[in-house]
C-alpha cells in the first residue's frame, strides 16, 4: 500500500527529509498536498487526525507526525535503518539533533516571530546569523562530520539535505569549511538520487523554506 505524505506543496522544508527517504528506497508514495485541492485535503486530514503541523504520513491507517518520528517509522520498512531497537534509537537521536539544528537554521531569518516578515526582524537576524555561522555551524557540523561515516541510513540522506541547504543559504560560509566526510557523503547521495534531483518532484530551494539565501546573513 502506498504511503501518503502530507506537506506544504511549494517548499522543500521538513517534508524533503521524508521525500528523500521515500525516493531513495523507490517507495510508492503520494505527495498529497501537491495534487488537486491538495492543501485543503491536507488541512482536513490534519484536523481529523489531530496533527499540529506538517509533515505527517499516513500508511495503513497509521498516522505519524514530526519528521524524525516519520523517519523512525519508515527506516526499517524502507531498509534505511537496522531492525535492532538499540541501533534504531541511536539513529532516532541523531535525527532529532538534525531537528534541533533546523530550528536554528530557521531562526537565522526569523529570530523574533514567524508572523513577521524577514525585513521586520532583519537587525535581529543579522545578530543571530553571526552567532549561527561562528559557533553553531561548527558545533553541529563538527558533530555530524563524525557521524557521516556510519552505515548508510535515512540519517545519511538527511545529512545530505543539511549540506545542500547550507550551501544554498550560506555559500560563502560553507566555502570556507572543510568537512571531508560530509562532502563525500553529499557527493554519494547526489549520485544515488540523481534522477530524483533532476526531476520535477524535487522542488528547488526558495525564499519560503527553512533554508533561505539572504547574502547579508552569510557574513
Ligand X SMILES: N[C@@H](CCC(=O)N[C@@H](CS)C(=O)NCC(=O)O)C(=O)O
Candidate segments 24-32, 36-44, 53-61, 85-93, binder of ligand X by CB under 6 A: 53-61
The verdict on 161 binding ligand X (CB under 6 A) reads no
Shortest gap between Cβ of 10 and ligand X (angstroms)?
12
Angle at 176 between CA 134 and CA 155, to 5 degrees: 75
Candidate segments 20-28, 49-57, 72-80, 127-135, binder of ligand X by CB under 6 A: 49-57
Q: What's the sign of the alpha-carbon dihedral 36, 213, 144, 176?
A: positive
The verdict on 97 binding ligand X (CB under 6 A) reads no
Burial 31-41 (b: 16+ CB within 10 A, else e): bbbbeeebbee
The verdict on 55 binding ligand X (CB under 6 A) reads yes
The verdict on 99 binding ligand X (CB under 6 A) reads yes
Strands 56-59 and 62-65: antiparallel
The verdict on 116 binding ligand X (CB under 6 A) reads no
One residue of 13, 75, 111, 165 binding ligand X per CB under 6 A: 13
The verdict on 153 binding ligand X (CB under 6 A) reads no
Shortest gap between Cβ of 87 and ligand X (angstroms)?
21
Three cell numbers, residue 92: 532516532
Shortest gap between Cβ of 176 and ligand X (angstroms)?
28
Candidate segments 32-40, 50-58, 86-94, 189-197, binder of ligand X by CB under 6 A: 50-58
Burial 148-177 (b: 16+ CB within 10 A, else e): bebeebbbbbbbbbbbbbbbbbbeebbeeb
Angle at 59 between CA 84 and CA 36, to 5 degrees: 145
The verdict on 165 binding ligand X (CB under 6 A) reads no
Rounded distance between C-alpha atoms, residue 20 and residue 93, angstroms:
19
Q: Which is nearer to ligand X, 13 or 75 (CB)?
A: 13
Q: Which is nearer to ligand X, 67 or 125 (CB)?
A: 67
Rounded distance between C-alpha atoms, residue 197 and residue 51, angstroms:
29
Candidate segments 51-59, 117-125, 129-137, 156-164, binder of ligand X by CB under 6 A: 51-59
Q: Which residues bind ligand X (CB under 6 A)?
A: 13-14, 53-55, 66-67, 99
Amino acid at each position: 500500500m502506498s504511503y501518503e505524505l502530507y506537506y506544504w506543496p511549494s517548499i522543500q522544508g521538513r517534508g524533503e527529509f521524508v521525500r528523500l527517504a521515500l525516493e531513495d528506497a523507490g517507495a510508492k508514495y503520494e505527495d498529497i498536498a501537491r495534487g488537486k485541492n491538495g492543501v485543503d485535503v491536507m488541512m482536513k486530514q490534519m484536523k481529523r487526525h489531530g496533527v499540529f503541523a506538517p509533515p505527517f504520513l499516513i500508511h495503513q491507517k497509521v498516522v505519524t507526525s514530526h519528521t524524525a518520528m516519520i523517519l523512525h517509522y519508515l527506516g526499517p520498512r524502507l531498509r534505511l535503518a537496522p531492525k535492532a531497537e538499540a541501533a534504531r534509537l541511536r539513529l532516532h537521536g541523531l535525527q532529532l539533533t538534525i531537528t534541533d539544528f533546523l530550528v536554528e537554521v530557521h531562526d537565522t531569518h526569523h529570530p523574533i516571530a514567524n508572523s513577521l516578515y524577514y525585513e521586520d526582524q532583519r537587525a535581529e537576524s543579522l545578530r543571530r546569523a553571526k552567532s549561527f555561522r561562528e559557533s553553531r555551524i561548527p558545533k553541529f557540523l563538527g558533530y555530524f562530520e563524525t557521524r557521516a561515516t556510519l552505515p548508510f541510513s535515512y540519517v545519511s540522506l538527511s545529512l545530505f539535505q543539511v549540506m545542500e541547504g547550507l550551501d544554498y543559504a550560506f555559500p560563502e560560509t560553507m566555502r570556507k569549511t572543510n568537512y571531508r566526510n560530509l562532502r563525500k557523503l553529499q557527493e554519494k547521495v547526489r549520485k544515488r538520487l540523481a534522477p530524483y534531483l533532476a526531476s520535477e518532484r524535487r522542488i528547488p530551494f526558495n525564499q519560503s523554506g527553512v533554508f533561505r539565501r539572504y547574502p547579508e546573513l552569510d557574513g
